[in-house]
Amino acid sequence: MKNKPPLRTIWLARHGARQDSMYPGWRHTAERPDDTPLAKEGHQQARETGQFLRQQGGVDVIYTSPFLRAVETAGNVAEILDVPIRIEPGLCEVLNPDWFQTKPECLSPADLAERYPWIELHYVPRVHPTYPEYEARGDVNERCRKTVHALLEDTWERSLWVGHGASVGGVAWALTGHTEHVCCQLCGLTGWKGTPNHWQPIYSGVDHLSITEDTLKG
């Protein structure tokens, strides 16, 4: 008799508030304007996300987009939970040619690990997006489908995946076949528990945050 797959918990988060959104002048002097870091508000959002996840039992591992704002979000959470970070390009921002004239360059895992020692340098990324990407033709959803399939092959019980608006939606679509009740706000969280093809929602929203998109806009 075939063994049933183990129950797992997946937490999916978008990165926190970014520097160029909070302080538009940042881009004028930035060395890498296509790879914005978090604003101080984003760091606070990320820390609050880590504190919430600790209350929920924590996670075993964090997978994150290589873009700096996502890595910094993951880093704040990892510092609180003391868990490894795996940099996975399959969770990256949509490589939209209207936003990026060429494929954006991110810092290497080795460079990032100098600041965030939780990064696993031996981790081999599973999916490498191809520039350019177009959401309208399904590029991001297909990329996220491959990423989800790959990450579910790893051994873990509870994990956090940190991405961007488009990749959060793409991952949710790949997991459940829809994006209903998926929180795509800054540092918004969506959680599921279950097995492949049988994911039950356990949380969706920004109730864990003291700073939300609404308060930032206000």
Residue 3 inside a domain? The answer is: no
Rounded distance, CA 83 to CA 218, Å?
35
Residue 133 inside a domain? The answer is: yes
Residue 78 inside a domain? The answer is: yes
Residue 143 inside a domain? The answer is: yes
User: 162-200: per-residue pLDDT in tens?
Assistant: 999 999 999 999 999 999 999 999 999 999 999 998 999
User: 87-109: per-residue pLDDT in tens?
Assistant: 999 999 999 999 999 999 999 99
Residue 64 inside a domain? The answer is: yes
* Size (the chain), residues: 218
Residue 2 inside a domain? The answer is: no
Domain with residue 132: its CATH number is 3.40.50.1240
Residue 48 inside a domain? The answer is: yes
Alpha helix ranges (H) inside the chain: 19-22, 26-29, 40-55, 68-81, 109-113, 139-151, 165-176, 213-217
The structural domain count of the chain equals: 1
pLDDT above 90: residue 52: yes
Range of the domain at 193: 8-217
Segment 24-41 mean pLDDT: 92
Distances (CA, A) of 154 to 50, 62, 69, 151, 159: 22, 12, 24, 5, 10
Residue 112 inside a domain? The answer is: yes
